[in-house]
Amino acid sequence: MRYPPGDLAIWIFILAELVVFAAFFAAYAFTRMNNVELFNEFQQQLDQRAALINTLALITSSYFVVRAVSAIREDNRRHCVVWLLAALAMGALFLIVKMGEYQHHFIVEGVSLSTNTFYMFYISLTFFHFMHVIMGMVILAAVVVMAAKGKYSAAEHTGVETGASYWHMVDLLWLIIFPLVYVMR
């Protein structure tokens, strides 16, 4: 194969998105240089357990999507739909846990973008990612609807692969955000 699975258009889009996040990651790491104590202090305020659950949720979700793609490659439409729904459920779990985290920080602690540089990065990075999870779920939901209507088959399933590629990117981004923002100090 010379091209990645799915529509090439989504890949160009994925690349552009990855570049934006890469810039944010580097900015985080280099800003931390001049604010080590601040970053270390407020990193400990974050909910490690929630981050673990969310990482597991996204990885599992990604795995389910892989299974959905292999199901449709074997022409098994019903399994494809079931795996995708399971993936969506994992995405929903991510959103719920994340909202719990936000509720704690924003409402209980009264944190905002202006609180300090660490929280500025924490909120920006996780919130942009949060929006991507929602976006990815919208795409996956559209794929589920099309799959349920029987639009995909072993011969033609570019749509499933396109949605899958985007969803894996959402997972990929979180795999870096998790250690960078929650663990590394």
Partner 1 sequence: MKYKSQSVAKLYFIAAIALFVAQILFGLIMGLQYVVGDFLFPTIPFNVARMVHTNTLIIWLLMAFMGAAYYLIPEEAETELFAPWLATLMFWIFLAAAGATVAGYLLFSYSDLAELTMNELLPTMGREFLEQPTITKIGIVVVVLAFLFNIGMTILKGRKTSINLIMLLGLVGLAVFFLFSFYNPVNVVRDKFYWWWVVHLWVEGVWELILGAMLAFVLIKVTGVDREVIEKWLYIVIAMVLITGLIGTGHHFYWIGTPDWWQWWGSIFSAMEPIPFFMMTVFAFNMVHKRRREHPNKVATLWALGTAVMAFLGAGVWGFLHTLSPVNYYTHGTQITAAHGHMAFYGAYVMISLAMISYAMPLLRGRNAANPAKSQVLEMWSFWLMTVSMVFITLFLTGAGILQSYLQRVSDNPMPFMVVQEQINLFYWLREIAGLVFLIGLVLYVASFFVGQNEPEAVVADR
Partner 2 sequence: MKSTKRKLGIRPCTWVYLFLITFTFVTSQVGQMGLSGLTVSLLVLMLALIKGQLVGYYFMGLGRVKGLWHWPVFIWLFIPGILIGTAFYLTAARV
Binding site for partner 2 (CB under 8 A): 1-5, 11, 14-15, 18-19, 22, 25-26, 28-30, 32-33, 36, 40, 44, 48-49, 51-52, 55-56, 59-60, 62-63, 65-67, 70, 74, 161, 164-165, 168-169, 171-172, 175-176, 178-180, 182-185
Nearer to partner 2, 75 or 109 (CB): 75
Whether residue 178 contacts residue 23, with contact meaning beta carbons closer than 8 Å, is answered with: no
Among 4, 12, 100, 184, binds partner 1 (CB under 8 A): 12
Among residues 42, 15, 1, 32, the alpha carbon closest in space to that of 169 is found at 15
3 binds, among partner 2, partner 1, none (CB under 5 to 8 A by kind): partner 2
Is residue 16 a contact residue for partner 1 (CB under 8 A)? Answer: yes
Binding characters for partner 1, 111-130, by CB under 8 A (x = yes): --xx-----xx--x------
- Report the C-alpha gap between 133 and 94 in whole angstroms: 8
Is residue 142 a contact residue for partner 1 (CB under 8 A)? Answer: no
- What is the chain's percent helix, strand, coil content, to nearest 5? 80, 0, 20
Nearer to partner 2, 34 or 114 (CB): 34
Nearer to partner 1, 131 or 154 (CB): 131
179 binds, among partner 1, partner 2, none (CB under 5 to 8 A by kind): partner 2
CB neighbours of residue 19 within 10 Å: 10
Among residues 152, 153, 163, the alpha carbon closest in space to that of 62 is found at 163
Q: Which two tokens stand for residue 55?
A: 């990482």
CA distances from 153 to 52, 68, 136, 150 (A): 36, 12, 22, 8
CA distances from 124 to 24, 89, 99, 118, 121 (A): 9, 25, 14, 10, 5
Give contact residues for partner 1 (rule: CB under 8 A): 7, 9, 12-13, 16-17, 19-20, 23-24, 27, 113-114, 120-121, 124
